[in-house]
């Protein structure tokens, strides 16, 4: 089972900040900003390349919940990042979005 599936199942501990039947949001173990939350679907989707009409509801639900998750962290300005594939820096092959904020964010790629 992949690392984030283990975290979702509770086999590996994490600091959860939001959970429902479809998604889990938890603190990144190596934060790059005061707020650094990972948001993942509970269904294993390897990367953004695997999003399709059957599972896109998980992605939609993540984005529906991001404002609430951010607000609970005390931020309303933030960056949402998905790394897809190794060249883009994806290290855990279970789709997730980084929610980053709590500081003035620096250089942008785009």
- Which residues are designated catalytic? 96
CB–CB of 94/46 below 8 Å? yes
Considering the complex, what minimum distance in angstroms separates the CB of residue 19 from ligand 5GP? Answer: 14
Considering the complex, what minimum distance in angstroms separates the CB of residue 83 from ligand 5GP? Answer: 4
Residue with smaller CB distance to Zn ion, 48 or 102: 48
The residue to which tokens 């009409």 are assigned: 53
Cα 11 from Cα 68, distance rounded (Å): 26
Residues 74-103 that bind Zn ion (CB under 5 A): 94
List phi, psi (to 5°) of 16.
-80, 140
Segment interacting with ligand 5GP, rule: CB under 6 A, options 17-25, 27-35, 54-62, 64-72? 27-35
Residue with smaller CB distance to Zn ion, 36 or 94: 94
Three-state secondary structure readout of 64-100 = HHHHHHHHHCCCCCEEEECCCCHHHCCCCCCCCEEEE
Cα 84 from Cα 88, distance rounded (Å): 6
Residues 73-92 that bind ligand 5GP (CB under 6 A): 83, 89-92
Examine residue 29 and tell whether it contacts ligand 5GP (CB under 6 A).
yes
The site for ligand 5GP (CB under 6 A) is made up of: 3, 14, 26-30, 38, 83, 89-92
């Amino acid at each position: 089972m992949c690392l984030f599936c283990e975290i979702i199942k509770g086999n590996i501990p994490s600091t959860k900040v939001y959970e429902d039947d479809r998604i889990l949001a938890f603190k990144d173990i190596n934060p790059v900003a005061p707020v650094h939350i990972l948001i993942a679907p509970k269904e294993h989707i390897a990367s953004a390349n695997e999003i399709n009409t059957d599972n896109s509801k998980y992605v939609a639900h993540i984005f529906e919940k991001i404002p609430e998750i951010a607000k609970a962290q005390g931020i309303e300005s933030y960056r949402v990042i998905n790394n897809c594939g190794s060249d883009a820096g994806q290290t855990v092959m279970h789709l997730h979005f980084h929610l980053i904020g709590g500081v003035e964010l620096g250089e942008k790629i785009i």
